[in-house]
Amino acid sequence: MSKQIQVSGLDAYYGSHKAIEDVSMTIEPRSITAFIGPSGCGKSTFLRTLNRMHEVIPGARVEGKVLLDGEDLYAPTVEPVSVRRMIGMVFQRPNPFPTMSIYENVAAGLRLNGRVSKSEMDGIVEESLKGANLWNEVKDRLNKPGAGLSGGQQQRLCIARAIAVRPQVLLMDEPCSALDPISTLAIEDLMAKLKDQYTIVIVTHNMQQAARVSDRTAFFNLAEQGKPGKVVEMDETSRMFTNPSQKATEDYITGRFG
Amino acid sequence: MTTIQHISTSRRIKDRVVQGLVYLAFAAAVVPLVSVLWLVISNGLARFDLEFLTHSMNGIGARDAHGGAYHAIIGTLQQVLLAGVISVPIGLFTAIYLVEYGNNGRLSRAISFFVDVMTGIPSVVAGLFVFAFWILFLGFEYSGWAGALALSILMMPTVVRSAEEMLRLVPNDLREASYALGVAKWRTIVKVVLPTAFTGIVTGIMLAVARVAGETAPLLMTVFFTNSINHDPFSGPQMGLPLFVFDQAARPNDTAVDRAWTGALTLILIVMLLNLVARLIAWWRSPARGR
Amino acid sequence: MTTNVRTREGGPVKHRSASRRSHGEAPFRIVSTAAGILLLAIMAAIAVFLISEALPALRANEADFFTERTWNPNSERVFGIAALAFGTVFSSALALVIATPIAIGVALFISHYAPRRLAAPLGYLIDLLAAVPSVVYGLWGVAFLVPLLRTPSQWLNEHLGWFPLFAGEGIIGGKTMLAGAIVLAIMILPIIAAISREVFLQAPKMNEEAALALGATRWEMIKMAVLPFGRPGVISAAMLGLGRAMGETIAVALIFPATFDITFEILTPHANSIAANIANGFGEANDIGRGALIASGLVLFVITLLVNMGARMIINRRKEYARAGA
């Protein structure tokens, strides 16, 4: 189920503005990779190039290669829609569909891909909600609107929605930044559990979080204000946080800037 | 084995079909616009001459080719101006009440709701009301003024809404700065709030004027018909340009229909000119122009 | 419409100059309040004077006003609203059926399909449709649309005549219900499109992104995140359009042949409406005739008032819902 991502020489633009430059990295399957760095350094932009969500913004484009188990996501024959089907995404703010029930929210992605029988759908919805550690809290009110849940529950609902379509990769863009500490802990537990099945990539502002949950960490930074963002360093998380090879990484991690 | 599966053909086709339908819908909406404008211009130019603009229909026989809409143009300009004179103060003060004094209380919510409802009053009903009230009940005669009354009822809700919107855009900081200087509330409104919102309000009024300038139905039962020039809107029947078009279009001979087209062209020119002036005023003071 | 996005920030500031009385304050406040009350009074006066001037004619009526189809108030004192009210509702409903899907398509085109740069000018082009005076549409309908529809009408009648709307004997085409409904549809299209466009643009971007990230195509994204969100707005827009169509006068007065029967045949020259009848009948009406027309205007006023109030209530409820969700 889980796949490796290889990025080489990737540039991303908003119109004529170059947001990130020459990013190359390998993201391993069945592990959690964290992106850290100061605001505006392009880590979220980079994350969105991995499932071709970047180009949703008018004027935005990408140059370079992103390979999913060797297959180029930006090849001319590949449709963005099918890329996103394989690479799920969880956003900064929980965004369940306000007009849909909890059940419909989880089923939303599945309904796109042809007919699924009612019993099969019930099974997948239950499995996904269990996978997102939400089942016990909502099993009695599956037909209530998803917007009625707490922020943390809504975010787990969004994770359930993303994993219901069985993606190969799960991208998480600061998934805890809008949540309280207890909900954050619940999501972090969930990530640890999900990494057995998925390639997980998470953007976070929270250094402790990166240290707690991730296996590998990439540090993004701007060369200077107005220049595009770059990957300064990428390594095992344990090594990165104890013995970084770059001065800038150390400064950032120890809180000297950012 | 390729990992990335293509989306199913049926999903792709559905997406494309909807896209096609959406483009088609837009085309379907533009075609009548182009058709109307084309016909009005091509048919209207034939009689769009000095005689049309400077002569009335007085003494023009049923089948005669000559004659013009001078009496109707004068009437429309006067009626629309009077309608503005009636509705702008009422509309503006109502907007001031809603924004500055209403405090979202019951009266203000009632007024707000009925302003919205008033937007939907059929123009013919406004005409009938003025006929019932002004002409039948109070016993006045048909006049341009009666037509202006009917038009003003149609203008009021538009003026209120646009003025209200503009007043709400004025930042509260400005009001508070003025209060802090010890300026009374009403003077703050007159000296600070209204000038700030001025161009926006004028734009709204111009658009409202443009809207009622093309109204025919309320004129039917208020200004009546006449073929001759009447410079006095307060006494006796006075023509209006939309009414002129309606009257000529309903006559069975080609010479009349030609005049109807030219009248339509003149009317559209007046309405578009008012619209253009409104947009120019909005543009003139808009922040986009970098003043 | 932009009026829907009124913000609280612009709300009134509490007056705190109790110690600083100013001469103008009280009169200014009174004038403002009076203007607002005057507006309410006008609404009430419309109802009152339409009723009072209609009553004499209604008393003189020798037929039942609500069930009688014919309209002969001038000579026989027999008149009823049945056929006219039917024509008003039927023509407006037809116009709505034609205009709503196109308006939704136009709104989606502007909000989600057209290139960014072109969206605003193309939207303005649609707004121009609303700037064309009603009488011009009437003229266009008579001179262009009516002849244009003749052949297709005959074809429809010949091949699909079993369908009640396309049925009919004798003259097919000409000044028909279909021609009037199409003109009405063109006239209400801009208002429905403008309001729908605004609500589609307000659909939360984050839900659109969620749908796309699930692998939705553009249409599937719209179906998931835009249409459900916009539905109440589109419904009220359609109702406002319906109200507009029912009150529309001059265009249909030129097109409708002023018959007084109740038929669903849209291809035969049988069509009329309350508003068209007022415009066509006013000139040659006597006292009773005018009272009768005022009575019919009252009915039109009440119907459009109900439709508009319904639409406004849906909009207002949606506003609260949108605020709670924000």
Whether residue B6 lies within 8 A of chain A, CB to CB, comes out as yes
Q: Could you tell me if residue A83 is inside a domain? A: yes
C-alpha B27/C-alpha A66 separation (Å) is 40
The reported pTM is 0.89
Q: Could you tell me if residue A17 is inside a domain? A: yes
DSSP conformation class of B101: I
Q: Verify whether the Cβ–Cβ distance A98 to C224 is below 8 Å.
A: no
| CA proximity to C180, closest of C232, C230, C102, C249 | C249
Whether residue A68 lies within 8 A of chain B, CB to CB, comes out as yes
The whole-number pLDDT of residue C5 equals 37
Average pLDDT (B50-57) is 90
Residue C8 has pLDDT above 80, yes or no: no
The whole-number pLDDT of residue A258 equals 57
Q: Could you tell me if residue A51 is inside a domain? A: yes
**pLDDT tens digits, C182-222:** 999 999 999 999 999 999 999 999 999 999 999 999 999 99
Q: For the purposes of burial, counting CB atoms within 10 Å of the CB of A38, is it exposed (0-12), middle (13-18) or buried (19 or more)?
A: middle
DSSP conformation class of B289: G
Residue C2 has pLDDT above 50, yes or no: no
Among C201, C214, C231, the strongest candidate for a mutation testing the A interface, having the largest count of A CBs within 10 A, is: C214
Provide the CATH number for the domain around residue A192. 3.40.50.300
Residues of A in contact with B8 (CB under 8 A): 113-114
What B170-176 contacts at long range (C-beta under 8 Å, 24+ apart), as own/partner pairs, is B170/B196, B170/B197, B170/C10, B172/C9, B172/C10, B172/C11, B172/C13, B175/C13, B176/C13
Q: For the purposes of burial, counting CB atoms within 10 Å of the CB of A215, is it exposed (0-12), middle (13-18) or buried (19 or more)?
A: middle
Residue C15 has pLDDT above 60, yes or no: no
Range among A211-215, A222-226, A254-258 rated most confident = A211-215
Whether residue B125 lies within 8 A of chain C, CB to CB, comes out as yes
C-alpha A230/C-alpha B53 separation (Å) is 71
Residue A88 has pLDDT above 70, yes or no: yes
The strand ranges marked E within chain B are none
Q: Could you tell me if residue A70 is inside a domain? A: yes
The shares of helix, strand and coil residues in chain C, as percent rounded to the nearest 5, are 70, 0, 25
The number of C-beta contacts closer than 8 angstroms across A and B is: 25
Q: Verify whether the Cβ–Cβ distance A85 to C215 is below 8 Å.
A: yes
Residue B206 has pLDDT above 60, yes or no: yes
The whole-number pLDDT of residue C11 equals 42
Tokens 């239950």: give the residue.
Answer: A126
Average pLDDT (B102-113) is 90
The number of C-beta contacts closer than 8 angstroms across B and C is: 313
Residue A16's domain spans which residues? 5-96+169-253
Average pLDDT (A123-151) is 92
The whole-number pLDDT of residue B61 equals 79
- Closest partner residue to B179 (CB to CB) among C16, C140, C142 is C16
**pLDDT tens digits, A13-31:** 999 999 999 999 999 999 9
CATH of domain B52-289: 1.10.3720.10
Residues of C in contact with A95 (CB under 8 A): 204, 206-207, 209-210
Residue B257 has pLDDT above 50, yes or no: yes
| CA proximity to A169, closest of A36, A238, A42, A69 | A69
Q: How does DSSP assign C101-170, residue by residue?
A: HHHHHHHHIIIIIS-HHHHHHHHHHHHHHHHS-HHHHHHHIIIIIHHHHHHHHHHHHHHSTTSGGG---S
The whole-number pLDDT of residue A123 equals 94
The whole-number pLDDT of residue B3 equals 65
The domains of chain C, with CATH numbers, are 39-325 (1.10.3720.10)
Residue C227 has pLDDT above 80, yes or no: yes
**pLDDT tens digits, C35-89:** 999 999 999 999 999 999 999 999 999 999 999 999 999 888 999 999 999 999 9
Phi-psi label, residue B202: left if phi above 0, alpha if psi -120 to 50, beta otherwise: alpha
Q: How many structural domains is chain A composed of? A: 1
Q: What type of residue sits at position C178?
A: L
Average pLDDT (A82-92) is 93
Q: Could you tell me if residue A164 is inside a domain? A: no
Residues of C in contact with B210 (CB under 8 A): 131
| Euclidean distance between the first and the last CA atom of chain A, given in angstroms as a whole number | 36
Q: How confident is the model at residue C315 (pLDDT cuts 50, 70, 90)?
A: confident
Average pLDDT (C240-262) is 94
Q: How confident is the model at residue A161 (pLDDT cuts 50, 70, 90)?
A: very high
Whether residue A112 lies within 8 A of chain B, CB to CB, comes out as yes
The whole-number pLDDT of residue B285 equals 66
**pLDDT tens digits, B17-29:** 999 999 999 999 9
Q: How confident is the model at residue C320 (pLDDT cuts 50, 70, 90)?
A: low
Residue B38 has pLDDT above 90, yes or no: yes
| CA proximity to C150, closest of C132, C121, C167, C171 | C171
Q: Verify whether the Cβ–Cβ distance C131 to B18 is below 8 Å.
A: no
- Closest partner residue to C228 (CB to CB) among A81, A82, A99 is A99
Q: Share the mean pLDDT of chain A.
A: 91
Residue B239 has pLDDT above 80, yes or no: yes
Our CA-based measurement puts residue A51 at a distance from the nearest CA of chain B, in whole angstroms, of: 12
Predicted ipTM? 0.92
Token couple for A224 = 């200077």
